[in-house]
A and B are shown apart, each in its own frame.
Chain A
Amino acid sequence: MQEEKKYIDCDKAECCCDKGQYKEADKIEKLQLLEHLAECPRCREYSEKNTRLTELIEKAKLKCCSEDEKECWRNAIEEELKKSHSE
Chain B
Amino acid sequence: MSTHTIDPTKWVDKYSDYLFNYTIVRVNDREIANDLISETFLAGLKSMENFKGEASERTWLISILKRKIIDHYRKMNSKKGQAEVHINYRDGENDGDWLEEQVADQFDKTAEDDMENTELGMAILDCLEKINSKHAEIFKMKTIDGVDTEVICKEFDITPSNLWVIIHRARTALAACLEQNWF
Q: Is the CB of B45 within 8 A of A60?
A: no
A49 to B41, CA, bound (A): 37
Q: Is the CB of A77 within 8 A of B45?
A: yes
Which of B63-71, B81-89, B175-183 lies at the interface with chain A? B175-183
Proximity bits, A52-64, B CB within 8 Å = 1, else 0: 1100110111111
Q: A56-B124, A64-B20, A77-B11 are in contact. Are A19 and B164 (CB under 8 A)?
A: yes
A56 to B12, CA, bound (A): 25
Q: Is the CB of A62 within 8 A of B8?
A: no
Q: Is the CB of B12 within 8 A of A70?
A: yes
Determine the chain A residues whose CB is within 8 A of the CB of B45 once the complex forms.
77, 80-81, 84
Determine the chain A residues whose CB is within 8 A of the CB of B125 once the complex forms.
62
Closest Cβ of chain B: how far from A16's Cβ, in Å?
10
Proximity bits, A24-58, B CB within 8 Å = 1, else 0: 10000000000000000000000001101100110
Q: Is the CB of A15 within 8 A of B164?
A: yes
Q: Is the CB of B144 within 8 A of A18?
A: no
Proximity bits, B147-183, A CB within 8 Å = 1, else 0: 0010000000000000011011001001100100011
Q: Is the CB of B124 within 8 A of A62?
A: yes
Contact-residue size bin, chain A (C-beta under 8 Å from the other chain): 20 to 34
Q: Does A65 contact B (CB under 8 A)?
A: yes
Determine the chain B residues whose CB is within 8 A of the CB of A72 once the complex forms.
38
**Total inter-chain residue pairs, C-beta < 8 Å:** 91
Which of B51-59, B96-104, B114-122 lies at the interface with chain A? B114-122
Determine the chain A residues whose CB is within 8 A of the CB of B143 once the complex forms.
22, 57
A73 to B13, CA, bound (A): 10
Closest Cβ of chain B: how far from A71's Cβ, in Å?
8
Which A residues have a C-beta under 8 Å from some C-beta of B?
14-15, 18-19, 21-22, 24, 49-50, 52-53, 56-57, 59-65, 69-70, 72-74, 76-78, 80-81, 84
| Other A-B pairs, 11, CB within 8 Å; known A57-B143, A62-B21 | A15-B164, A15-B168, A53-B171, A53-B174, A59-B120, A60-B118, A61-B121, A62-B125, A63-B21, A64-B144, A65-B34
15 contacts between A and B (CB under 8 A): A22-B142, A49-B183, A53-B171, A53-B178, A56-B124, A59-B117, A60-B124, A63-B21, A63-B144, A70-B12, A73-B37, A73-B41, A74-B12, A76-B38, A84-B45
Which B residues have a C-beta under 8 Å from some C-beta of A?
8-9, 11-13, 16-17, 20-21, 24, 34, 37-38, 41-42, 45, 117-118, 120-121, 124-125, 140, 142-145, 149, 164-165, 167-168, 171, 174-175, 178, 182-183
